[in-house]
Structure 1
């Protein structure tokens, strides 16, 4: 057998870096080496103790022997032999000195052979999952190594975050914005459980998401091993597709099914990878799969009877109102065009904010608790509601007292909480094609544009009055969002947190052509900043990305400002600082409770941002608000504008 070529690797620039009687961990190519300096000689040993893999380079030389730091076994610092002649010595490597530098010689590495992880990552990329947010750790290293190879080829982008919860929220936001899955990635145990909230956020808001978790070796699952959690059982309620990858799995097929399920069901898929599987060599004939001829189009035409019933109601209607929810996001142009054919007012749910511009002649703003009186007025005056992609949650406030035509791709969403006059199961754009054809020249609706303009005039006059309310305790939220109305780029992606800041945002910010992302059904505090990371990964520098958060929400994932800086994400973050969980205080008062434990002790967020390498500025006077917000938007990189606000002026 031909001897492999020895490759020399410099491990010390100067031999003085390792004093006599000391040891050190170094790396030669990918080989971990315990470098020793004993009795004037430099020696190189395999860094792994043969018992439990303890890092010998972190050990010590005691009484002329190298002691393992994990369990105290002794080896000779030069030969690697153990005392007493036991057959558990350490492999040694050649060492040479040149110009005071120390080199270690190791055999030339063989070409990389495809592993199970390589096949699965390549399949994942082929299916379009090219953005991954997560944290690399000891139980996911094999899979991480496979992702590294795809990133080096330019096929994948991995973003290392500071908390796995942020990874899941970022992936959720990516799915909400694009309709395509991104992945969140963690180690076993606590890393995986940290992702649980963000996975639920994606699930209840119908965003496709792929969760990838490391796992301890299969043989110790269920034994109480370190960081051992049965993740398949643990994620059984949140993941629609939920599998442990095994040595004998059909690996490419398993990844294909996971991504396909996430796309078609707009749900969460989860795969967990036991340690022993990740680096297992793939079968000789194993190849990555692609989605070619594996996924169907979703242009579902509605049943004829439902179409006929809907057409008859629309023909009779004089004052129809269209309601768009988040589920209509991909079809907003078609819905607005349909509204124009009916001269019907268009209002949205909070999650659907911005699907029609407030400046559009038919735009009626947002319904519900975060909305405007314009939207509720038109709903109450309507003789028919046409609801596209909305869920009828309590916060939305869609009245069941009006005749309703509901259109949705998900049959379970139809008539979810109460019966509706006509439930139309179909893809929205395909359904509207049929509606337009059947209704051509047959509608007799009133033109509501003048009424809409009149109601906007009343609301804007009311907003102007509220804008005059000032306080020495801080700036009003009304002033913050009126300033944003002037300065926010029309094509921005805006990520919104929960709390009073979100209610004020829904009420006072007037969208033009922005997209909005929020934690809708779950209503999870802390969403905005991680969501901005996910949004930026989707749009890059082609569109501005703006996050709006309260002080309570921002502190949940405050360290992710360093992620913005590390990856040069020019996200603009506006934080409303009132030193209080203001929404909770409000709810305590409404429930006739004492206000209790809602005050907050905050850092100076602007100074914190600056310490992370971002631009930061604090605004305490309303007169400075417009100037500093403009300054923030002009920054090239990540920028945080901290605005001191009055909790009562919302």
Structure 2
């Protein structure tokens, strides 16, 4: 057994099913070790960044360790964006990189990069294997670190080490074991229950940390008579059509969520690290529930922190709330949400030409099967899915939450479709984001992945335009010259269709979902469609007007 064989054996013990990457001279022994066994497959991508995104999406959706590889120098560098996506969304990913031979490290050899320095910030564990005997322990620790810390681990293997023999008999896999149900002190739970009972207007801010605790979250909200405001990543936990959910928060949220945060006198944060401080209440008391101790008090001053698993804490609090509460605040917020839903539904019913993005999102929601997995890209696609895509119970929704990088959705869909071959994966992309890594469309074709990709084609970097105008700057530099995306899909060996009229959307979606391989819809959408923030300050309004004047007069 050589070092590369030991690596593959360790990965198999950790239930890794595939490795994403591109072969290269510094990792040839690694890819050869994969070739010589049948437990783990190699998914060859066209860009290492796409491989890292695929691994990140796999880890986010499964909670299990995912793996990507890159050769020395440029291959390793290309992994970084996808790895930062995994880091900031707390996804367990192991990156294996090749390195020049040990005798050339530090000599400015061809393709030599200081990989330990390069990966120092992104990784919770970051080592170079310098001797074969060291390899099994380093690789095991890397897997353990990625799983335990829900982050990125990196191991660099010089090209003259990977093929050397090593004795390796004992494998100590970690996970995907069930996490312990860590709970706070009983006195703290009792104090939280007293605070909730004493408050008149309780609101809940729920994040992705509530994943797996949907029922407990709803039961607690009902007992506390508290509306649930969700983060964007928690859209797959509870979406806007549930009667106790009053929508999202932040620039991509809605007015009801902002109003609840402004008016509550007690905020209960559950599994969220929501970073936008302007949306937190200014005078309310705050209880924060999080499994990560360092998150307590990081975003807002906290009156009581409860460290532990969301489901068990919410259950304990629900059981402690045995006195009926006045539900007036909840009813007021639900009435506000009903008005917001009416406005949303009206926007979605607008079947004008060019196609309005809300109308498209409603059509996708209606066409998607009950087991669909949605991946949203960064940009206006994020905003339209946040407000208008319906995520039903049993469906999944993910995106690049912390990093908010473009190009995640389609590459991530490759990982999602491989991890869940019996589910339909739908990537919703902007034209700018899709074009960044559209070369990997051939990867989906190669492996026969029936991903449905919906490209919102407005020939603009639309979200950048909005950001410019919000600052009072003219729209400049955001125009795109796009190819015929449907023709690109067909040229790659997939199925593609251009959609330019509202009455074409439904039939095109049905046809795309019926394909056995990758299908792409190039949807020509209204470039002037506005994404209005839930609240607009006077300075924002003035800046927007100023920007429009400057665009007209070219100044």
- TM-score normalised to structure 1 length: 0.78
- Mapped to 1, the partners of 2:328 and 2:365 lie a distance apart of 28
**Pairing partner for 1:129 from 16, 32, 36:** 16
**Pairing partner for 1:276 from 149, 160, 163:** 160
Question: Which residue of structure 2 lines up, in the alignment, with residue 521 of structure 1?
Answer: 402
Q: Does 1:537 align with 2:421?
A: no
- Mapped to 2, the partners of 1:533 and 1:292 lie a distance apart of 26
Which secondary structure state, in structure 1, belongs to the residue aligned with residue 402 of structure 2?
coil
Q: Does 1:408 align with 2:408?
A: no
**Pairing partner for 2:357 from 466, 477, 481:** 477
Question: Which residue of structure 1 lines up, in the alignment, with residue 442 of structure 2?
Answer: 562
- Mapped to 2, the partners of 1:218 and 1:186 lie a distance apart of 18
Q: Does 1:243 align with 2:124?
A: no
Q: Does 1:183 align with 2:52?
A: no
CA displacement, residues 229-257 of structure 1 (integer Å, 9 cap, x when unaligned): 11111111111100001214432222211
Q: Does 1:298 align with 2:180?
A: yes
Preserved CA contact (<8 Å) 2:132 2:165: no
Q: Does 1:446 align with 2:327?
A: yes
Question: Which residue of structure 2 lines up, in the alignment, with residue 548 of structure 1?
Answer: 428
Preserved CA contact (<8 Å) 1:317 1:445: no
Paired positions, count: 529
Q: Does 1:435 align with 2:306?
A: no
- Mapped to 2, the partners of 1:642 and 1:292 lie a distance apart of 43
- Mapped to 2, the partners of 1:640 and 1:523 lie a distance apart of 23
Question: Which residue of structure 1 lines up, in the alignment, with residue 461 of structure 2?
Answer: 581
Which secondary structure state, in structure 1, belongs to the residue aligned with residue 90 of structure 2?
coil
- Mapped to 2, the partners of 1:599 and 1:573 lie a distance apart of 22
CA displacement, residues 183-222 of structure 1 (integer Å, 9 cap, x when unaligned): 0111010000001111111111111110011111011011
**Pairing partner for 1:646 from 509, 517, 526:** 526
Deviates more, 1:577-586 or 1:301-310: 301-310
Q: Does 1:371 align with 2:253?
A: yes
- Mapped to 1, the partners of 2:251 and 2:189 lie a distance apart of 32
Question: Which residue of structure 2 lines up, in the alignment, with residue 597 of structure 1?
Answer: 477
- Mapped to 1, the partners of 2:295 and 2:155 lie a distance apart of 27
Could you say which structure has the greater relative contact order, defined with CA pairs below 8 angstroms and 6 or more residues apart? 2
Question: Which residue of structure 2 lines up, in the alignment, with residue 399 of structure 1?
Answer: 281
CA displacement, residues 368-424 of structure 1 (integer Å, 9 cap, x when unaligned): 111122322333343322111111211893435322211001111110033111111
How far 1:447 moved relative to its partner? 6.9
Higher relative strand content? 1
- Mapped to 2, the partners of 1:223 and 1:259 lie a distance apart of 30
Which secondary structure state, in structure 1, belongs to the residue aligned with residue 233 of structure 2?
coil
Q: Does 1:195 align with 2:71?
A: no
Question: Which residue of structure 2 lines up, in the alignment, with residue 460 of structure 1?
Answer: 341
Question: Which residue of structure 2 lines up, in the alignment, with residue 36 of structure 1?
Answer: none
Preserved CA contact (<8 Å) 1:245 1:274: yes
- Mapped to 1, the partners of 2:177 and 2:516 lie a distance apart of 41
**Pairing partner for 1:312 from 179, 183, 194:** 194
Higher relative helix content? 2
How far 1:280 moved relative to its partner? 0.3
Which secondary structure state, in structure 1, belongs to the residue aligned with residue 238 of structure 2?
coil
CA displacement, residues 325-356 of structure 1 (integer Å, 9 cap, x when unaligned): 12222322322232233343222101211311
How far 1:258 moved relative to its partner? 0.7
Could you tell me which runs of 5 or more consecutive residues in structure 2 were left unpaired when the two chains were aligned.
Answer: 531-555
CA displacement, residues 249-279 of structure 1 (integer Å, 9 cap, x when unaligned): 4322222111111111111100011011111
**Pairing partner for 1:325 from 200, 203, 207:** 207
Which secondary structure state, in structure 1, belongs to the residue aligned with residue 241 of structure 2?
coil
- Mapped to 2, the partners of 1:125 and 1:443 lie a distance apart of 52
Preserved CA contact (<8 Å) 1:495 1:532: yes
- Name which one, 1 or 2, has greater alpha-carbon Rg: 1
How far 1:631 moved relative to its partner? 2.0
- Mapped to 1, the partners of 2:264 and 2:148 lie a distance apart of 35
- Mapped to 1, the partners of 2:51 and 2:105 lie a distance apart of 25
Deviates more, 1:509-518 or 1:221-230: 509-518
Which secondary structure state, in structure 1, belongs to the residue aligned with residue 213 of structure 2?
helix
- Mapped to 2, the partners of 1:256 and 1:295 lie a distance apart of 15
Question: Which residue of structure 2 lines up, in the alignment, with residue 80 of structure 1?
Answer: none
- Mapped to 2, the partners of 1:218 and 1:295 lie a distance apart of 36
Question: Which residue of structure 2 lines up, in the alignment, with residue 630 of structure 1?
Answer: 510
